[in-house]
């Protein structure tokens, strides 16, 4: 029985979301028009309406016009609260900045932009779809999302709501923004790759000379002895003994048992290769990223890993 009830509720909820999605097409920025704004009295609003009824009965029974008048005053207040709550959000434009890439387990920060010709909504509570949300101020609120799964995800429905000014009526809107964010596999070297790296680094790089320190050089590579003697900042330089092979192809390591761990390993290896300025390519079962180097290439590789 209970299961059936839950199922029905889920069904209804799904219907409502579907209906909402039809009402609000996906756009880069959403103007809060009458079509997408909803109003409904809050608990306090209902309590005050009940008070209006109570006052009407009281005023009628005591034949006291002033009590009735007070009741009407409260009724007009309730009605105008609908309008005021609506106008508080009406004609605001909501837009989300494209968020920075994140790895699984990170937090994605999404910067929103609110605009309106005159003033900004007061006492606005922002949150994702079915969360309660937080009170925000200013025109650029920041929302966070937990990056749980790798991939290229659209941001969830945004819920904007406010009970301003009298707390009698809640005005809210579900906004679907056409903004997506990348979640890459968290780079983690497998023990095999780590072992191999150790072996490589032992014999692959050799001291090749020194040069002047430039900002950005690793402090580890500073020649401290010379600095203490001659007050001269020099950096050790190492060169690979055997020239890096022109191309390194990364492919999943079959020895790793889970697919996700394979991807994490690939991501870590790609990062290491990028740090070493070693051009590399990626070969996956259905996909291939051509040989290349540079941050854009790394991102492309990671995107390929995120999507597979």
Partner 1 sequence: MLSPSLFQALQWRLWLFQLLLWALLLPAYTSWSLAVFALLLLAKLWQLYRNGKAWSLGYSNLLAGGMLLALLLSARELGVMHLMFHFLLLAAVLRLLGLTPQRRTDVVQLIWVHYFLLACAFILHQDLWLAAIVLAAFALNLYAQYLTFCTQLPQLNWHILSRNTLLVMLFTGVLFVLFPRLPPLWQLPGAKMTQTGLSDNLAPGAVSRLLESEDLAFRVRFSGPAPAASQRYFRAKVYDVFDGSNWRAQRLQPRPLASTDTLAQYHYTVVAEPHQQYSLFSIGQVQRHSQNAMATNEALLVTEQPLSQRLSYQVSSSISPIKASGNINRYLQLPAGNPQSRALAQQLSLNAANAGTAASATLLVQQISEYFRQQQFRYSLTPGELSGAQIDQFLFERKLGFCSHYAGATVFLLRAAGIPARLVGGYLGGEWQDDGAYLQVLQKDAHAWVEYYQQGQWLSFDPTALIEPALLLETLSDDNLGDFAGAGGDWMLAKLRIMVLQPLRDLDYYWSMWVLSFDSAQQQSLFGQLRQWQQALRVPSDWWLWLLFSTAVAGAWYGLRRPRPDATRRLFLPLLQLQPKAANQSYQQYLAIWSEQQPALTAEFNALSQYYLRWQFAGEAAAYAEARPLVRQLLKKLKRLRS
Q: Is residue 20 close enough to count as binding partner 1 by CB under 8 A?
A: no
Cα distance between residue 183 and residue 305, in whole Å: 10
Name residue, tokens 């779809």: 129
Q: Among 12, 54, 140, 148, which residue sits at the site for partner 1 (rule: CB under 8 A)? A: 54
Q: Is residue 80 close enough to count as binding partner 1 by CB under 8 A?
A: yes
* Strand arrangement, sheet containing 124-128: 38-41, 169-175, 158-162, 124-128, 134-136
Q: Is residue 40 close enough to count as binding partner 1 by CB under 8 A?
A: no
Reference 211, options 173, 239, 249; nearest CA is: 239
Crossing angle, helix 191-204 and helix 259-275, to 10 degrees? Answer: 20
Name residue, tokens 């609506």: 86
Give the contact letters, 162-181, x = binds to partner 1 (CB under 8 A), - = no. -xxxxx--------------
Q: Is residue 182 close enough to count as binding partner 1 by CB under 8 A?
A: no
Residue count at the site for partner 1 (CB under 8 A)? 42
Q: In this chain, which stretch among 70-78, 106-114, 193-201, 218-226 interacts with partner 1, using CB under 8 A?
A: 70-78
Concatenating the DSSP letter of every residue in 138-189 gives SS--EEEEE--S-EEEEPPPEEEEE-TTTSSEEEEEEE-B--EEEEEPPP--
- Which H helix or E strand runs over 13? helix 2-23
Q: Is residue 61 close enough to count as binding partner 1 by CB under 8 A?
A: yes
Q: How far is the CB of 72 from partner 1 (least distance, A)?
A: 4
Q: In this chain, which stretch among 60-68, 183-191, 211-219, 255-263 interacts with partner 1, using CB under 8 A?
A: 60-68
Q: How far is the CB of 150 from partner 1 (least distance, A)?
A: 36
Residue pair 133/159 in contact by the 8 Å Cβ criterion: yes
Q: Among 49, 67, 240, 248, which residue sits at the site for partner 1 (rule: CB under 8 A)? A: 67
* Beta carbon nearer to partner 1, 87 or 276: 87
Question: Cβ contacts of residue 224 below 8 Å, gap of 6+?
Answer: none
Locate 150 and state its tokens.
Answer: 């790798």
* Beta carbon nearer to partner 1, 77 or 111: 77
Rounded to a whole number of angstroms, the distance between the first and last alpha carbons of the chain is: 41
Q: How far is the CB of 23 from partner 1 (least distance, A)?
A: 13
3-state DSSP assignment of residue 102: strand
Q: Is residue 65 close enough to count as binding partner 1 by CB under 8 A?
A: yes
Cα distance between residue 174 and residue 16, in whole Å: 12
Q: How far is the CB of 249 from partner 1 (least distance, A)?
A: 45
Q: Among 33, 115, 180, 283, which residue sits at the site for partner 1 (rule: CB under 8 A)? A: 33
Locate 178 and state its tokens.
Answer: 């056409």
Q: Is residue 211 close enough to count as binding partner 1 by CB under 8 A?
A: no
Q: Among 39, 49, 51, 272, which residue sits at the site for partner 1 (rule: CB under 8 A)? A: 51
Locate 77 and state its tokens.
Answer: 């207040």
Give the contact letters, 128-157, x = binds to partner 1 (CB under 8 A), - = no. -------x-x--------------------
Residue 1: Cβ within 10 Å count: 5
Interacting residues with partner 1 between 251 and 290 (CB under 8 A): none
Under the rule (CB under 8 A), what is the footprint of partner 1? 31, 33-35, 44, 47-48, 51, 54-55, 57-77, 79-80, 122-123, 135, 137, 163-167
């Amino acid at each position: 029985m209970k299961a059936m009830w839950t199922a029905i509720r889920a069904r209804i909820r799904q219907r409502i979301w579907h209906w909402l999605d039809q009402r609000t097409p996906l756009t880069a920025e959403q103007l809060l028009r009458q079509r997408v704004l909803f109003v409904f009295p809050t608990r306090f609003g209902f309590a005050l309406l009940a008070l209006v009824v109570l006052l009407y009965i009281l005023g009628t029974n005591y034949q006291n016009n002033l009590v009735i008048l007070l009741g009407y005053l409260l009724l007009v207040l309730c009605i105008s609260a609908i309008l005021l709550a609506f106008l508080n959000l009406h004609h605001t434009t909501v837009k989300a900045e494209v968020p920075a890439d994140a790895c699984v387990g990170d937090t994605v920060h999404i910067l929103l932009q609110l605009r309106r010709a005159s003033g900004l909504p007061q006492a606005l509570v922002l949150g994702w779809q079915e969360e309660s949300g937080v009170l925000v101020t200013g025109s650029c609120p920041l929302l966070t999302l937990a990056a749980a799964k790798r991939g290229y995800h659209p941001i969830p429905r945004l819920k904007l709501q406010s009970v301003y000014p009298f707390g009698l009526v809640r005005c809210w809107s579900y906004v679907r923004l056409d903004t997506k964010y990348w979640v890459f596999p968290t780079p983690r070297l497998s023990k095999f790759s780590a072992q191999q790296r150790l072996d490589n680094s032992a014999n692959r790089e050799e001291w090749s000379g020194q040069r002047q320190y430039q900002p950005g050089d690793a402090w580890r590579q500073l020649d401290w002895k010379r600095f203490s003697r001659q007050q001269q900042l020099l950096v050790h330089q190492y060169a690979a003994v055997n020239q890096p092979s022109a191309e390194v192809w990364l492919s999943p390591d079959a020895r790793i048992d889970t697919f996700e761990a394979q991807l994490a390993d690939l991501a870590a290896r790609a990062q290491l290769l990028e740090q070493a300025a070693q051009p590399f390519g990626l070969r996956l079962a259905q996909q291939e990223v051509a040989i290349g180097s540079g941050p854009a290439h790394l991102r492309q590789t990671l995107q390929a890993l995120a999507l597979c």
